[in-house]
Amino acid sequence: MTAIDAQSQPWWKRGVIYHCYVRSFLDSNGDGIGDLPGLTCKLDALRNGTPSSLGIEGLWLSPVYPSPNRDFGYDISDYRSIDPMYGTMEDFDRLVAGASARGIHLIMDLVVNHSSTEHAWFRQARTSRENPFHDYYLWSDGTNGKPPNNWGSSFGGSAWEWNEQTHEFYLHSFLKEQPDLNWRNHRLRKDIHDIMRFWMDRGVDGFRLDVANYYVKDAQLRGNSHEFVIAQPMPGNPSKTLFIPMSREVYDHTVDQPETHDALREMRGVIDEKPGRMMVGEIAQHTLDQVLSYYGDGQNELNLVFNFFFFVRRFRAKDFRDIIERTLDLLPEDAWPAWVLSSHDVIRAVSRYHCSPPMTKSMIGLLLTLKGTPFLYNGEELGLANTLLPRRLLQDPVAKRYWPLPVGRDGERTPMPWDATPNAGFTTGIPWLPVSAPAMSYSAESADPTSVLSFTRRLSWFRSHHSALNAGDMSIVAGPSDTCLCFTRRSSAEHLTITINLSDQTVAIPRGSFTSDQTPLFNTEEQPSMDSLAPWEVRIADTSA
Ligand code: GLC
Ligand code: CA
């Protein structure tokens, strides 16, 4: 690819996308649950046109549709409205207007592998085999009262649940309250396309597709194979290993079926009906080349695919370099990476890697300088860690199911700490989960120029003003030591060299090397040394000459 400039980059390639877990962001009415008016009044912190905000380009909202909340919004009962818990449609329109006035693009979570059992489609579908919505879901008679095959739910147990009214089983890849939709039904597909158009007409700029590689299942319902493992990644904290000998399901007939790509190409057609719209997909479970196959030819399937591979690697230059190199190699021409370090589903990177604040800065330094779109999970800009919660406070169905195994996702979903008032300014009521690290806060970190927040803002501002960072090519080059990650970014306007010391040791810089000859344009250190890199230092130098 030839070097290109920021101006020709679509917004979803150019800027930072902020992942907002709305329930935990800011509560405006004292019920203990974050909501849309709360988020709207914090938009200036996200982007206000000056370096005193995060300067995000996109804002992805966790699901805010009506939902019985068995899986906190990932079980949707109406795709075309807003849960009263989060506000009204007018509140939503105000959020869209406020975001667009600041140049923030809004992304909705589109959860269409499954609906809620409370959705009108399922309520009808389950009443009779003749019901016109029956075929919107996946059914089987089973054999002798037993499920038809060994497919398991990703949340544990069989993926089949008995429906008394029709005397058959329905499929649920997650909770039994999340029945899987039948993507071979073309009326359903058209309904989903119309839901996308409904939100795009209201000003939504894109969608995050929940478990997008799960849509189509094997038509013959062939059983999945199993492999025997002694060690496997811990659910919720995949960088840790669980040593429990067990037989693990390989999802060979339930995920990554070829027809899923057809469905995504159709959806891309809908996205492309309006300029500047995009979709980013969550592709879970698989190898890097399988994940990257969801870009299609680079133009015709997902615009972005989350790269989750940092979750499962150690915090070492060698590990990161390996993932980055392989990703850049395997990516189809014209496709653009999307990097993630933390989310509402896995332990926060700060806890995963046991980061000190300087180490956190090196990690955010990496996220914001790589070629690709950085996704920043709310709280990550503060350096928030996971919150340890006692069992009685756990809310996540996964945590409840696997207790006492240390899995579950509540620890990364606790509310944002805003200031020094009670409940850290998140709510005037009782927060739905205890507030994260009330000793840290947005206002305290805003006032401290050495905080992780100040660093993140400064780097994000720098990034948005340098086409090499927000649009350029990338090549990994040899750094001053194995513990450093060193790479160049190049646009038609400039050539930058980024060196990140991913270690707690000072690293000597050989005289005459490109890093030593340049006064850094950007640095974590106030007084960078020409001869060495401080522990965890992030240094960006202009190497155009
Ligand atoms: C995705 C979501 C997760 C949810 C699951 C089922 O992985 O990110 O939170 O539980 O899908 O919808
Ligand atoms: Ca509220």
Q: How many separate domains does the chain show?
A: 4
SS3 325: helix
Q: Is 174 in the pocket of ligand 1 (CB under 6 A)?
A: yes
The rounded mean pLDDT for the chain is 94
The DSSP call for residue 410 is G
Residue 474 is inside which H or E element, if any? strand 473-476
**Mode of pairing for the β-strands spanning 168-171 and 160-163:** antiparallel
| Exposed/middle/buried for residue 91 (C-beta within 10 Å: 0-12, 13-18, 19+) | buried
* pLDDT above 90 (res 271): yes
CATH number (domain holding residue 168): 3.90.400.10
With respect to residue 185, please indicate whether it lies within any of the assigned structural domains.
Answer: no
Give pLDDT tens digits for 445-490: 999 999 999 999 999 999 999 999 999 999 999 999 999 999 999 9
Give pLDDT tens digits for 89-134: 999 999 999 999 999 999 999 999 999 999 999 999 999 999 999 9
- Name the residue with tokens 């795709």: 79
Domain that holds residue 148: 115-180
Report, as an integer, the average pLDDT of 304-331.
95
Give pLDDT tens digits for 47-79: 999 999 999 999 999 999 999 999 999 999 999
Q: Is 71 in the pocket of ligand 1 (CB under 6 A)?
A: yes
**Mode of pairing for the β-strands spanning 246-250 and 225-229:** antiparallel
Looking at the fold, whether 204 and 336 belong to one and the same domain comes out as yes
Read out DSSP for 176-244? TTSPBB-TT-HHHHHHHHHHHHHHHHTT--EEEETTTTSSS--TT-PPPEEEEES-EEETTEEEEEE--
Q: Are 279 and 268 in contact (CB under 8 A)?
A: yes
With respect to residue 350, please indicate whether it lies within any of the assigned structural domains.
Answer: yes
Q: Are 139 and 161 in contact (CB under 8 A)?
A: no
Most confident of 138-142, 506-510, 530-534: 138-142
Q: Are 95 and 204 in contact (CB under 8 A)?
A: no
Pocket test for ligand 1, best of 64, 70, 74, 346 (most atoms within 8 A of CB): 74
CA-proximal residue: ligand 1, atom 3 (nearest) = 345
Looking at the fold, whether 290 and 352 belong to one and the same domain comes out as yes
Give pLDDT tens digits for 8-21: 799 999 999 999 99
With respect to residue 146, please indicate whether it lies within any of the assigned structural domains.
Answer: yes
* pLDDT above 90 (res 234): no
Looking at the fold, whether 277 and 344 belong to one and the same domain comes out as yes
Integer Cα distance of 361 and 385 in angstroms: 14
* pLDDT above 80 (res 238): no
Query: For residue 45, what are the contacts with CB-CB under 8 A and spacing of at least 6?
Result: 53, 54, 442
CA 238 from chain center: how many Å?
15
* pLDDT above 70 (res 310): yes
Q: How confident is the model at residue 511, as a pLDDT? A: 79
Give pLDDT tens digits for 159-202: 999 999 999 999 999 999 999 999 999 999 999 999 999 999 99
Give pLDDT tens digits for 148-161: 999 999 998 999 99
Pocket test for ligand 1, best of 210, 214, 254, 282 (most atoms within 8 A of CB): 210
User: Where among 441, 464, 487 does a domain terminate?
Assistant: 464
* pLDDT above 90 (res 368): yes
CATH number (domain holding residue 108): 3.20.20.80
pLDDT tier for residue 2 given thresholds of 50, 70 and 90: very low
Looking at the fold, whether 293 and 342 belong to one and the same domain comes out as yes
Side chain identity, residue 125: A
Read out DSSP for 122-178? HHHHTT-TTSTTGGGB-EE--BTTB-SS--B-TTSSBSEEEETTTTEEEE-SS-TTS
Q: How confident is the model at residue 128, as a pLDDT? A: 98
| Closest listed residue to residue 25, CA positions, set 46, 51, 11, 50 | 46
Looking at the fold, whether 508 and 456 belong to one and the same domain comes out as no
Looking at the fold, whether 198 and 268 belong to one and the same domain comes out as yes
With respect to residue 272, please indicate whether it lies within any of the assigned structural domains.
Answer: yes
Q: Is 177 in the pocket of ligand 1 (CB under 6 A)?
A: no
pLDDT tier for residue 298 given thresholds of 50, 70 and 90: very high
Q: Are 510 and 480 in contact (CB under 8 A)?
A: yes
- The alpha carbon of 184 and the centre of ligand 1 are apart by a number of angstroms equal to 22
Integer Cα distance of 512 and 515 in angstroms: 8
User: Where among 464, 492, 520 does a domain terminate?
Assistant: 464
Looking at the fold, whether 424 and 300 belong to one and the same domain comes out as yes
* pLDDT above 80 (res 276): yes
User: Where among 424, 446, 464 does a domain terminate?
Assistant: 464
SS3 466: coil
Looking at the fold, whether 200 and 267 belong to one and the same domain comes out as yes
Looking at the fold, whether 63 and 202 belong to one and the same domain comes out as yes
CB atoms within 10 A of CB 95: 26
Looking at the fold, whether 213 and 301 belong to one and the same domain comes out as yes
Residue 90 annotated among the catalytic residues of the structure: no
- Name the residue with tokens 């009214």: 165
- Describe the crossing of helices 186-201 and 258-271 by its angle, rounded to 10 degrees: 30
Which residues pair with residue 208 across a beta bridge? 109, 280
Looking at the fold, whether 204 and 311 belong to one and the same domain comes out as yes
With respect to residue 187, please indicate whether it lies within any of the assigned structural domains.
Answer: no
| Exposed/middle/buried for residue 521 (C-beta within 10 Å: 0-12, 13-18, 19+) | middle
With respect to residue 322, please indicate whether it lies within any of the assigned structural domains.
Answer: yes
Read out DSSP for 295-356? GTTTTSS-SEEEE-GGGGS-SSHHHHHHHHHHHHHHSPTT---EEES--SSS--HHHHTT--
Q: Which two structure tokens, joined as six digits, stand for 475? A: 């090549």
Which residue of the set 210, 380, 381, 410 is catalytic?
210
Side-by-side strand order, sheet with 139-140: 139-140, 168-171, 160-163
CATH number (domain holding residue 491): 2.60.40.1180
- Name the residue with tokens 């009779």: 128
Bigger pLDDT: 62 vs 3: 62
Looking at the fold, whether 496 and 381 belong to one and the same domain comes out as no
Q: How confident is the model at residue 7, as a pLDDT? A: 62
With respect to residue 230, please indicate whether it lies within any of the assigned structural domains.
Answer: yes
Integer Cα distance of 368 and 498 in angstroms: 11
- The alpha carbon of 505 and the centre of ligand 1 are apart by a number of angstroms equal to 39
Integer Cα distance of 115 and 173 in angstroms: 11
With respect to residue 141, please indicate whether it lies within any of the assigned structural domains.
Answer: yes
Integer Cα distance of 196 and 271 in angstroms: 8
- The alpha carbon of 253 and the centre of ligand 1 are apart by a number of angstroms equal to 19
* pLDDT above 70 (res 273): yes
- The alpha carbon of 392 and the centre of ligand 2 are apart by a number of angstroms equal to 22
Q: Is 83 in the pocket of ligand 1 (CB under 6 A)?
A: no
Integer Cα distance of 417 and 415 in angstroms: 7
Side chain identity, residue 410: D
Q: Is 306 in the pocket of ligand 1 (CB under 6 A)?
A: no
Q: Which two structure tokens, joined as six digits, stand for 484? A: 């450093």
Q: How confident is the model at residue 514, as a pLDDT? A: 57
